[in-house]
Structure 1
Amino acid sequence: MEWKHRLEDVLGKLKSPSKEELRYALMQLDTKVDDVEEHLKDPEGKPYYRKVLFHNQEVELLVMNWSNLQCAPHDHGNSYGWIHVLNGTTKHTVFEVKDGRIPRALFDEQKHAGEFLFAPVKGVHTMKDRNESGLITLHLYAPPIKDMMVYDLEACAACVVSEDCGAWWPEDLRQRVKELKLKA
């Protein structure tokens, strides 16, 4: 079955998927770089370019191709999901957030092509293309991301961003849904 048809066949059947069901669905897609290559564009000064490939009320699937910039620490609101590294290597940093304070890095890890990483509800993390490896990632979230929180560590601030914004501090005021000041 052609990859584009598998999207609807696999993802269209998901109803309130569990963590395990979501990962299994992402694995079933058996996505290769060739399948998503037509959707990749220059990130134009951002950490990544993102393209929604599938979206319904239950899940959303995005592909991202990365520049050499690290994305801002962020969560995925009330969504959880899996990230499949299709190409390259990512440096992935996980943070701890307590009591309205600025996030604190807990650990770094590397994930290589073919590996998966889990993004829990309200889990704060960053990603970066390690050593300009040509990082391409596929992201499957349930439910679709809404109310993503992005953190600016230097300004001790956080911002809920609009659904058309990525994991960076929005320059467009329209994309700043709500701003918060954090404790150092």
Structure 2
Amino acid sequence: MLFLTTIEKLFTPLVQPTSQELLDAIHKLQASVKDAGPFIRDPENKPYGRKLIYKSAHVEILVMHWASALDCSPHDHGQSYGWVQILSGSSNHTLYKLRPGELPVPVKEQVENKGSLLNVGRGMIHKMGTHEKDPLITLHVYSPPISGMKVFDLEKCAACIVSEDCGAWWPDEQRQLLQTISLPPQPAKR
């Protein structure tokens, strides 16, 4: 498949790439929803279906197909950074601020449309979800490959670190729950 060959050609030479080097490779890739089509997975009862399509020691690339009415949980990306490209549809995107020992607090909400490239900085906490009825398909490029991702459950006042095969939701399978972290409840707003 030409799409995977192009990915290998562009991303295999990248060793400890900068965010800008990842972005340059994404621009050269010129990914489309047609390219992503063979890798689209049904979200079933999760916020998104995910398919890892490339992984080296320094970069991983995933295609995600988002559920129509279920956002992912607020999460970070472990020690990784990268980019999310919206290939089709539009996304509600919420950024959070986190103080040590507290729950994340939303600080910015916006709609991201087809063609948008979202910078995922190291330590950034965010959540995404489908904005309208058109299917939301996204391409995710991270370096290094994600491990130690922290997912927040704002209702339970808790966070967890999930395994590499879990998405941005509280895991159903015990093996995907690597660590649970209790957080104090937020004070009531006056």
User: How much has 1:30 moved relative to structure 2?
Assistant: 0.7
1:153 — aligned with what?
154
Task: Give the aligned length.
Answer: 184
What CA RMSD, in Å, does the superposition of the two structures yield over aligned residues? 1.0
Once residues 178 and 18 of structure 2 are traced to their aligned partners in structure 1, the CA distance between those partners, rounded to angstroms, is 29
Q: Deviations over 1:60-96 (max 9, x none)?
A: 0000000021000000000001000000000100000
2:57 — aligned with what?
57
Which has the higher mean CA deviation after the structures are superposed, 161-170 or 3-12?
3-12
TM-score w.r.t. the length of structure 1 is: 0.98
Once residues 26 and 55 of structure 1 are traced to their aligned partners in structure 2, the CA distance between those partners, rounded to angstroms, is 15
Amino acid at match of 1:23: L
- Conserved 8 A contact 2:39-2:51: yes
Amino acid at match of 2:78: G
2:188 — aligned with what?
none
Once residues 117 and 109 of structure 1 are traced to their aligned partners in structure 2, the CA distance between those partners, rounded to angstroms, is 11
1:7 — aligned with what?
7
Once residues 15 and 183 of structure 1 are traced to their aligned partners in structure 2, the CA distance between those partners, rounded to angstroms, is 40
Once residues 12 and 100 of structure 2 are traced to their aligned partners in structure 1, the CA distance between those partners, rounded to angstroms, is 38
1:102 — aligned with what?
103
User: How much has 1:27 moved relative to structure 2?
Assistant: 1.3
Q: Secondary structure at the match of 1:128?
A: strand
Once residues 77 and 168 of structure 2 are traced to their aligned partners in structure 1, the CA distance between those partners, rounded to angstroms, is 9
Once residues 176 and 143 of structure 2 are traced to their aligned partners in structure 1, the CA distance between those partners, rounded to angstroms, is 22
2:175 — aligned with what?
174
Q: Secondary structure at the match of 1:132?
A: coil
Amino acid at match of 1:65: H
Q: Which runs of 5+ in 1 are unaligned?
A: none
Once residues 123 and 133 of structure 1 are traced to their aligned partners in structure 2, the CA distance between those partners, rounded to angstroms, is 27
User: How much has 1:2 moved relative to structure 2?
Assistant: 2.6
- Conserved 8 A contact 1:67-1:132: no
Q: Secondary structure at the match of 1:147?
A: coil
Once residues 30 and 100 of structure 1 are traced to their aligned partners in structure 2, the CA distance between those partners, rounded to angstroms, is 41
TM-score w.r.t. the length of structure 2 is: 0.94
Q: Deviations over 1:112-157 (max 9, x none)?
A: 1111001111110000000222000000000000000000000000
Q: How high is the sequence identity, in percent, across the aligned residues?
A: 41
Q: Which runs of 5+ in 2 are unaligned?
A: 186-190
Once residues 134 and 127 of structure 2 are traced to their aligned partners in structure 1, the CA distance between those partners, rounded to angstroms, is 17
Is 1:20–2:20 an aligned residue pair? yes
2:75 — aligned with what?
74
Once residues 158 and 164 of structure 1 are traced to their aligned partners in structure 2, the CA distance between those partners, rounded to angstroms, is 17
Is 1:120–2:121 an aligned residue pair? yes
- Conserved 8 A contact 1:54-1:60: yes
Q: Secondary structure at the match of 2:152?
A: strand
2:94 — aligned with what?
93
2:32 — aligned with what?
32
Once residues 29 and 89 of structure 1 are traced to their aligned partners in structure 2, the CA distance between those partners, rounded to angstroms, is 21
Q: Secondary structure at the match of 2:25?
A: helix
